[in-house]
Amino acid sequence: MTEETPVNREEIYDFIHREIDTIPHLEALLLIWKSSPRQWSAEEVAKELYVSEGTSQNVLQNLHRRGLLIADNGLYRYASTSIRRDSLVQALDATYRRELIPISKLIHAKGTAAMRDFAEAFRFTKGKE
C-alpha cells in the first residue's frame, strides 16, 4: 500500500484558483463535502449559505460542470473521484478555517470567470510597428 503524500498549501491555493470562483462556491462545496453522502437541493444550500436560491442554483450547476458535485434530479452531492481529491478538499476545509481572510482575498481578487473572460477580450499586446 502506497502512503498518500500530504496536500501542500500550494496545491490548495492552485485548486482555489482553478475551481473556485466565489465564496459561495467554496462554502457550497465544503458544506456538501462535509455532509457526504447527503444530497442537497438548491433551496437547502441557499438557506444554509444565506444566498438567493438563484445564486445557489448557479453555484451548484457550476460545481457540477467542474466535476466537483454529482447532480441527480435537482439534488447535488459531493463527487468523490479519487482519494487525492478527497484529501485536497479535506485540506481545503482545514486551511479555509485557519486562513479565512487570505483565502477570501484570493477569491475576491480573481473576480468572476465572466469578468476575467470579458477583460481578457480587451487585453492589448504590444506588437511590432
What are the cell numbers at 73?
434530479
Question: pLDDT per residue over 13-26, tens digit each?
Answer: 999 999 999 999 99
> What domains are defined for the chain?
9-121 (1.10.10.10)
Q: Is pLDDT above 80 for 77?
A: yes
Q: Give the start-end residues of each E strand in the chain.
A: 40-41, 69-72, 75-78
What are the cell numbers at 11?
496545491
Which pTM does this prediction carry? 0.82
Confidence class for position 106, pLDDT limits 50, 70, 90: confident
When comparing pLDDT for 30 and 118, which is higher? Answer: 30
What contacts 34, CB < 8 A, 6 or more positions away?
A: 93
